A and B are shown apart, each in its own frame.
Chain A
């Protein structure tokens, strides 16, 4: 089955700086890679996603890159703000099965 690894598990970044979270996946049948943000006490919500036929996608301050050959994908957040503090999960979908990474707790230092 699919195995998604995520690093780092915790990340502290000065406000205004950039944050990068990296994931790898194992199943070459996976073709959709979403990222979810979970604020304290709330349910996870989709912030950006990328399909396997695309190498990069951007939405304002967040971007995701995908390297299918290496089975790597990454989340980039620029100009970080206090409201970016949360737990971020990467995920992969193959054959409708949605598998998550173990999460990254991002803390923005004012």
Chain B
């Protein structure tokens, strides 16, 4: 059974705090992604990584950074949390084309910034 696991289901943080969201996959996937999901806006890509220590900006990277020190782990960092970062955050992983392209999602982290 394939697994993508996010470290928290719910988080409440204060404005200005540094926030870490962790994601771990056990499928030996090369690609990992962080999205935020807001009503009416779909899944917007924040950052993705196609290899250890590699990262690429997505469509809304402002206010976020990422870290990928090991293949199975991809962390999203909110440097100084703000109320407009209150959202559902979803991590996903996938493989390169020759191994199939299906993306598997974590269960999501609902972050509230107060």
Chain A interface residues (CB < 8 Å from chain B):
1, 6, 9, 31-32, 34, 36, 43-46, 49, 89, 93, 96-103
Contact = CB atoms under 8 A, between A and B. Distances in A.
A97 B97 contact: no
A100 B43 contact: yes
Contact of B108 (A43, A46, A49, A93): A43
Contacts, number: 55
How extensive is the interface on chain B, given as a class?
20 to 34
A1 B59 contact: yes
Nearest to B107: A43
Interface of B: 30-31, 33, 35, 40-45, 48, 50, 56, 58-59, 90, 92, 94, 96-97, 101-103, 105-108
B92 A98 contact: yes
